[in-house]
Structure 1
């Protein structure tokens, strides 16, 4: 019998925190637009989570798209911050400090090339930062999570189904109106590579401009 998403989320949170203790945790599903949704929280006050969603989600260096860009199934906070603007990191660190969070690690499960679920583990003051040994343990557990999440995967939205994860990430960033320099910084590539990505994406979608591409994919 296939577990419900809530049951699976609770099982993952219980199992992961048994082997790698954490102060707080959250399990979530990832939609076709690389947005986290349907959160199940462990130990986290709803007001903290609400503040995150309202004011800090866009600053999170461990968002699904950002984690995907690292190519890692287990992404520590430091790795995410290394790919993000320093001003954004400072603002997000302020949010973490306000809740006494000293370290975060994200675990991402994929179906094929598509990320479908994630798990956040947070440590607050009084606990050490996640060690290399603990990150390796999380990588081993990630395989279990990835195998179990396959049954929870909804069909991809037709408009985005033909895009690779990187192309979906770029399309979402274009929807936010960012320029090529910001896009290069976010993806960790040079401007010529960004232009190549954009040309390939335009050809695949059949668009001739950013505005047309966004309209064709999201409107």
Structure 2
């Protein structure tokens, strides 16, 4: 399956899942080999909210791919995710959701040969209320279809980054999601001068002049992450 058909899978999942279990906002994404969500496709979510999430809150997300993998269920509720996370981090993340009037989230993940490959987030505001148990059960048949389709997705490759240190690779992956230097410093617990040194070394090793070229080199298509589908706008 090529990148165009991967986009089609995202559109199908966003439409089918939100029709079966109504959602205020939704996001489809692929999962790379480092368990980071990438290649987002958004439904209803405005770009500022998504950028806010990527820059400040994705590392706090109780439903991020690594946490869903640890829980091991195809459908994971926000409540389940919070139960597997430090309470202080969970409260901080809930504050982010409240800022955007989100009252509940559910994550559905697809696995291929034991590897988490793709996922979809369904978010609800107060007008729809929290997800009910019977609604989560209705997602299971759709999960099976999504899982079969995900087997045709190309595996994300990072061969071009094979010569990087783990820290440099981590920085490259954060850059591809739009992280600025301050965000890098905060998430990696580094000083700004250290971040700049890592960037210089990273650009030199990959053979690029700046972060824009690096993002293109990694083929992560950041623009897709901030493009709402179909022009539908839901309450934030």
Question: Partners in 1 of 2:127 and 2:110 — Cα distance?
Answer: 29
Question: Partners in 1 of 2:63 and 2:11 — Cα distance?
Answer: 21
SS at match of 2:42: strand
Cα 1:54–1:38 change in 2 (3 A) is same
- CA drift of 1:152 comes to 0.8
Question: Partners in 1 of 2:38 and 2:85 — Cα distance?
Answer: 22
Question: Partners in 1 of 2:156 and 2:47 — Cα distance?
Answer: 30
1:118 — aligned with what? Answer: 119
Contact 2:32 2:156 in 1 (8 A): no
Flag structure 2 segments of 5+ consecutive residues without an equivalent: 160-165, 171-236
2:10 — aligned with what? Answer: 9
C-alpha RMSD of the superposition: 2.1
Cα 1:114–1:98 change in 2 (3 A) is same
Structure number with the bigger relative contact order (C-alpha 8 A, sep ≥ 6) is 2
Contact 1:61 1:81 in 2 (8 A): yes
Q: Under a length normalisation based on structure 1, what TM-score does the superposition of the two structures give?
A: 0.70
Question: Partners in 2 of 1:145 and 1:106 — Cα distance?
Answer: 13
Contact 1:36 1:64 in 2 (8 A): yes
Question: Partners in 2 of 1:75 and 1:155 — Cα distance?
Answer: 24
- CA drift of 1:128 comes to 1.9
- CA drift of 1:157 comes to 6.0
1:1-219 equivalences in 2 (<5 Å): 4-154=5-155
- CA drift of 1:153 comes to 3.2
Deviations 1:22-57 (A, max 9, x none): 000000000000000000000001000000000000
